Amino acid sequence: MADAVDAGLLGRMKVILLGPPGAGKGSQAQFLSESLRIPAISTGEMLRGAVAEGSDLGRKVGGIMARGHLVDDGTMADVVEERLRKEDAREGFLLDGYPRTLPQAETLAGILDRSRSALDAVLLVEVPEEELVRRALLRQRDDDKEEVVRARLQVYREQTTPLIGYYRERGLLRAIDGNRPIEEVTASLLGAFGVQV
Ligand code: AMP
């Protein structure tokens, strides 16, 4: 699959995967990361790792995550800045789960500006809300109880959807219908880079 990508772009793209909780961003991030040869960076996974470790960060965010709320922008800025400074993310990355608020988008823009860099694309995976609730209840993660799922969707609607307009205005947004079989969604996402699969 990766052979179809313009070789000059491999490993050099800076991409955001945007979409509601349960849209399948995690699985798609893995496929895209392999095809485009860029590290998939999931802030949710990083935070779950911190909770499992029992680190200071984990103790700070555990309760917030369990309620389906967002960790504050300042804490997330530290987490993301430190991760993007690592060598493997210098030339390219796929961000899954960040940014989730307008201030986070501004933080990311600042980090990229300082390294004289810019985003290449923001891929929006769209799935209807009832389908998201159904999928989340099938997954049964700790923070996937129905009221928590609904809370996460409300947080997405209120705090994250403004990013759609923000990135559309900047000419970066590519919307993909995520309510289809997983391989079709992957093909459309890669298609956004002109890749035929
Ligand atoms: P996710 O796996 O991306 O759905 O993230 C799981 C949880 O981690 C979210 O419900 C939030 O509590 C927290 N989280 C992950 N990324 C962020 C972020 N960018 N800003 C605030 N909270 C986040």
Calculate mean pLDDT across residues 44-69: 97
Give the DSSP letter of residue 117: -
- Residue 141: what pLDDT? 67
Q: Order the strands of the 93-96 sheet from edge to edge.
A: 40-42, 93-96, 14-18, 121-126, 173-177
108 lines ligand 1 (CB under 6 A): no
- Quick: pLDDT tens for 2-44: 455 677 788 899 999 999 998 999 999 999 999 999 999 999 9
Place 60 in a pLDDT band, splitting at 50, 70 and 90.
Answer: very high
Task: Give the residue, out of 25, 71, 76, with the most ligand 1 atoms within 8 A of its beta carbon, to mutate for a pocket test.
Answer: 71
Residue that wins the pLDDT comparison between 22 and 48 = 48
| Both structure tokens of 169 | 């205005």
Place 197 in a pLDDT band, splitting at 50, 70 and 90.
Answer: low
- Quick: pLDDT tens for 142-171: 666 888 889 999 999 999 999 999 999 999
Res 1 pLDDT > 50: no
Task: Give the residue, out of 65, 107, 155, with the most ligand 1 atoms within 8 A of its beta carbon, to mutate for a pocket test.
Answer: 65
Q: What share of the chain is helix, strand, coil (3-state, %, to 5)?
A: 60, 10, 30
Distance 66 CA to ligand 1 centre (A): 10
